Structure 1
Amino acid sequence: MATPTVKNVVRSKRSVLAAAACALCLLVAPAATAQAQPGIDSASDAQTRLSDLARESEQTTEALHNAQIDLDAKTAVQREADAAVEAHRSALAVAESALAELKPAVDKVANVNYQGGRTNRLFAVMVSDSPQQLLDQMSALDIISAETSRQVGQFKQATSDAVAAEEASRSAADEARTAADQAKMVSDDLQAKQSELQGQTAEVMAAFSALSGAERSDYAGSPLPPGFDLSKIIAGLVPGSGSGALQAGLTQIGKPYVWGATGPDGFDCSGLVVWAYKQVGKTLPRSSQAQAAGGTPVDQKSLQPGDVVLFYPDASHVGLYAGNGNVLHASTFGVPVKVQSMASFPFYGARRY
C-alpha cells in the first residue's frame, strides 16, 4: 500500500468535513422548516392554549368555592352535633343525679313491703284503740301513701329520662362522628383542589408570559361590544331586582381577572357577581354552581338587566345580564372585566335574585 502524501491527507479531510456539513444541513433543514411552518398560526395556537388552560383553572376555582361552601356547611353540622352531645350529656347527668336522690326513699319503701310492713287502711282499723287514733293513723297513712306514690312516680320518670338521655347522647355522639368524618372528606377534597389549582395557574401564567404584548392585547379584546354605549346603558337602566347590581358591576370594567378574588382590585367570575350584589345589600352564594341553585329561575327570553346568567354544562362560569344579549363578566385570566356577547358561551341558565 502506497504511503499517503500530505496533499492527499488534506484533500481527504476536506471531503469528510464537506460530507459532514451536508449531513448537518440535511438534519437542520427539516427542523427549521418544522418550526417555521406553524409560525403562521403560532399566535392563535398560543392564545387557544392559554384559553384552554384558563378555562380549566376557572372550573377548578368554582369547584373550589363549592367545596368551601360544602365544608362550611359540614363544619356547622359538626359544631351543632358536638353541642348536642354536650347538651345530652348534661341531661343525662341531671337524670342520674335525680335517680341517686330518689333511690334511697324508693329502696326504703321496697324494703318495708318486703319485710311485711303494713301501710293500708284495714291495718289502721285493726290496731286503733279509739276513733281519733284511727283518724290520725289513716291521715298519716294517706300522707305516707301520697309521698310514696310521688317518690315512686318521680323515680320512674327519672329512670325514663335517664334512659332517653343516654340514648340521645349515644345517638348525638354517632352523628358528631359522622359529621366530623364528612367534614374531613370535604376538607381533603378542598386541599386537593387547591393543589390542582396551583398547578393549573402556574401553567396559565407560563402560557400568558409566552405571548407578546400585541398577542396579549388581541387576547384581551375590547372591553365593550360594538355599539354598546356604557353611559346610555347606565342612564337607561330601569329599576329592577338586579339593575342596581349591574350598574355597580359596570363600574368594574377593566379590573383584572384574579382567581378566588371578590374585589375590589380583581375578580373571578362568581366573585364579581357576589361583589355587585353586595353593593345593593344582597348576599349571594360564593360559587357559580351555588348561584345557579338560588334565586328564581328565568327563561333566556325573559332576561332582565342584572339577572345572573350561567354558562357551560356544569354552570362553571357566571356573569350579569347586560341587555341586548350581552353579559358583564370577569371572563378569564388575561382578560379584564368586560361586556361581551352571550353568544360566545354555551348558555346554562339564569336566576333572578
Structure 2
Amino acid sequence: MRLPVVSHRRPTRPGLTRGVRATVLSAAVATAATALGSAPASASPEDTHETAEEAVDRLYTEAERATERYNGALEDLGRQRERIARAQDAAARTQEDVNQLRASLGSMAGAQYRSGGIDPAVALLLSSDPDTFLDRAAALDRAGERRAVTLSKLRRAQRRIAQSRAEAAGALAAMERDRAAVARHKRTVEARLDRARQLLRALPGTERPDPGRASRSVSPVTPTGDAPGSARGLAALMAARQALGRPYVWGAGGPAGFDCSGLMQWAYAQAGVALPRTSQAQRYAGRMVPLSQALPGDLVAYRADASHIGMYAGNGQVIHAPYPGASVRYDPVGMMPVSSVTRV
C-alpha cells in the first residue's frame, strides 16, 4: 500500500485579497520574528508563512529531542540512586560482620590475658606435667590460628566497607551530575515550547497550524499491515489504543498523559514487557525488521536520531503521542522519515 504525499499548504481564504493577506501575514511574521529572531526580512508573505509553520515544527522537534535527553537523564538518576542504596546496604551488612569479628577477637584476647600469656618455652620448663602442657600448647596453637584467620577476615571486611563507601560516594557525585543534567534538559524543553507558543500566538488564528495535522515530511511507504503481530505486540497495541485521546505531556509516562517514548513503555508494560525509557534505547529493544514487513505492535522510530517513536497499528498507520497540544492518535506511518522498525 502506497500512502499519498500529503500537502499542508492551505488555500487562500475567500474574502481576502492578495494584498490584504500579505499585510496580515507580514505583520504576524514580524511579531514572530521578534520572538524567534529568525524570519528573513526579504521573504515573500507566502514564503514567510511557510517559514513560520516550519519553525513551529522545528521547535517541537527540538523540544522532543530535549525531552528524550531529559528522560534519559532521569533514568540515569534512578540508576545512581539504586547504586547508592546497594552500596549503603552492602556497607551496613559488612559492618555487622566487622562488629562480630571484633567481638570474637576481643574474646580471644581476654582468654589469652587470663591464661597469663607466659612464653611457651618458660611454661614448659616450669610445668610439672609436660604431657598436659603439650596438649595445652597444641590448643593454644589452634587458638592462634583461629585468631589469625579472624584477623584476615576482619581486614577483608574492612576493605569491603571502604570499597562500598567509595562506590556510594562515586554514585552520589554522579547523581548530582545527573540532577544537573535533568534540570538543564528541562530548561531546554521549556524554552523550545515557550518559543513555539510565542510563534503560534503571533499568527492570526485562522493561519495557525492545525493541531490534528500530521508532519509535513510525509514519505510513501509500503508496509504489509495485514498479517497479525506477536501476542505481546498485539497486547501492547490494545493498551496503546486505550490511550487514544489522552494528551501529550512531555516527560510523562502515563496513564493520564504521555510523551512519545512514555506511551510505548507504558503500552508494553501492560503486555508484561519492560522497555527502556527513551526512544533511542527502545529502537534497540528487539529485532529490527524492514518497514515493508512491519506488523501491528512493532515500534517505529523516526528521524536519524530516533527522537520520535510510535507503534505500528496496521493499515499503514501508527499510534503515537505527537507533540504538545495534540493527543495520542493515529497518523500515517510515513508521516516523518522512518529510521527503523523494531519487533519487541
- Partner residue, 1:344: 335
- Partner residue, 1:38: 44
- Partner residue, 1:151: 143
Superposition RMSD in Å: 3.3
Could you give the per-residue CA deviations for residues 327-348 of structure 1, whole angstroms, max 9, x where no partner exists?
A: 2211222443333333332323
Asked if 1:162 corresponds to 2:154, the answer is: yes
Equivalent of 2:103, from 90, 97, 102? Answer: 97
Superposed, which structure 2 residues align to 1:26-175 within 5 Å?
38-106=44-112, 111-113=117-119, 116-118=122-124, 138=131, 140-141=132-133, 143-175=135-167
Superposed, which structure 2 residues align to 1:207-226 within 5 Å?
207-216=199-208, 218=210, 220-221=212-213
Q: How many residues align?
A: 300
Asked if 1:206 corresponds to 2:212, the answer is: no
The alignment partner of 2:271 has SS state of coil
Paired with 2:244 and 2:42, the residues of 1 have a C-alpha distance of 38
Paired with 1:50 and 1:204, the residues of 2 have a C-alpha distance of 5
- Partner residue, 2:307: 316
Asked if 1:269 corresponds to 2:263, the answer is: no
CA 1:258–1:214: 2 relative to 1, 3 Å: farther
Paired with 1:315 and 1:154, the residues of 2 have a C-alpha distance of 61
Paired with 2:208 and 2:243, the residues of 1 have a C-alpha distance of 20
Shift, 1:143, TM fit: 4.4
Q: Which runs of 5+ in 1 are unaligned?
A: 1-30, 129-136, 226-232
Amino acid at match of 1:210: A
Shift, 1:251, TM fit: 4.4
Equivalent of 2:237, from 246, 254, 262? Answer: 246
Structure showing the higher helix proportion among its residues:
1
CA contact (8 A) 2:229 2:295 kept: no
CA contact (8 A) 1:99 1:158 kept: yes
Asked if 1:197 corresponds to 2:189, the answer is: yes
CA contact (8 A) 1:294 1:351 kept: yes
CA contact (8 A) 2:262 2:277 kept: yes
Shift, 1:249, TM fit: 2.1
Paired with 1:43 and 1:348, the residues of 2 have a C-alpha distance of 29
Paired with 1:78 and 1:327, the residues of 2 have a C-alpha distance of 40
Paired with 1:350 and 1:253, the residues of 2 have a C-alpha distance of 21
The alignment partner of 1:339 has SS state of strand
Shift, 1:237, TM fit: 5.5
Amino acid at match of 1:47: E
Paired with 2:343 and 2:161, the residues of 1 have a C-alpha distance of 43
Could you give the per-residue CA deviations for residues 171-208 of structure 1, whole angstroms, max 9, x where no partner exists?
A: 22211111111111111111111122222221122223
The alignment partner of 1:319 has SS state of strand
Shift, 1:48, TM fit: 0.7
Paired with 1:70 and 1:178, the residues of 2 have a C-alpha distance of 14
Amino acid at match of 1:190: V
The TM-score normalised by the length of structure 1 is 0.73
Amino acid at match of 1:69: E
- Partner residue, 2:221: none
CA 1:35–1:181: 2 relative to 1, 3 Å: closer
Radius of gyration: which is bigger? 1
The TM-score normalised by the length of structure 2 is 0.75
CA 1:275–1:117: 2 relative to 1, 3 Å: closer
Amino acid at match of 1:56: E
Paired with 1:272 and 1:168, the residues of 2 have a C-alpha distance of 42
CA 1:163–1:148: 2 relative to 1, 3 Å: same
CA contact (8 A) 1:78 1:179 kept: yes
Amino acid at match of 2:65: Q
CA contact (8 A) 1:105 1:151 kept: no
CA 1:184–1:281: 2 relative to 1, 3 Å: same
Paired with 2:116 and 2:307, the residues of 1 have a C-alpha distance of 72
Q: Which runs of 5+ in 2 are unaligned?
A: 1-25, 28-39, 219-224
Amino acid at match of 2:275: L
CA 1:342–1:144: 2 relative to 1, 3 Å: same
Percent identical pairs in the alignment equals 28
Paired with 2:120 and 2:229, the residues of 1 have a C-alpha distance of 88
The alignment partner of 2:119 has SS state of helix
CA 1:266–1:178: 2 relative to 1, 3 Å: closer
Superposed, which structure 2 residues align to 1:16-31 within 5 Å?
none
Shift, 1:71, TM fit: 0.8
Shift, 1:100, TM fit: 1.6
Paired with 2:292 and 2:201, the residues of 1 have a C-alpha distance of 40
